[in-house]
Amino acid sequence: MTQLVSKNFSIDTNSDLLFDILRNKIYSDPVTSIIKEIISNARDAHREIDLNQPIDVNINENFFCVRDYGTGISLDRMENIFLKYLATTKKGDDKQTGGFGLGAKTPFAYT
C-alpha cells in the first residue's frame, strides 16, 4: 500500500512571470475591473469604520475620481497590505467586498 504524504504548493523564484500574470493577464477587461475595484474599496473604507455616507464618484471621458471619507491608508497599511499581493485586511469580514489581496492592485493591470 502506498503511503500518502501531504505537500505544499510553492512559487518558484521566477517572480517576474508571476507579476506579469497578476498585472497584465488576470483581467480580460482591465478598465472596467479597475473602476469596480476602486469603487468597492472606497465603499469598504466606509464599512470598515461603520460610516453610513455615500462615496463620491466623478467620471467623464477623460477623468475618473473616487473619494471616500474613511481613515486613509496609513504607512503601515501601505507597506504591509497595499504593496503586497495577497495581503488583505478583509479576511473574515463579511461586510466588505473581496479579501483576496488582489483588488487594490488592479490599476497596475492598466499602467
29-84 pLDDT, tens digit per residue, is: 988 999 999 999 999 999 999 999 999 999 888 899 999 999 999 999 999 988 88
pLDDT digits (tens, 9 = 90+) for 8-29: 877 777 778 888 887 778 888 9
Q: pLDDT-derived band of residue 100, with 50, 70 and 90 as boundaries?
A: confident
Residue 24 confidence (pLDDT)? 79
pTM of the model: 0.76
Spatial CA neighbour of 24 closest among 101, 109, 111: 109
Confidence bin at 95 (pLDDT 50/70/90): confident
What whole-number distance in Å separates Cα of residue 21 and Cα of residue 84?
15
> Who's near 69: CB < 8 A, 6+ residues apart?
45, 46, 51, 53, 55
What's the confidence (pLDDT) of residue 72?
93
Mean pLDDT of 94-109: 83
Burial of 48 (0-12, 13-18, 19+ CB in 10 A): middle
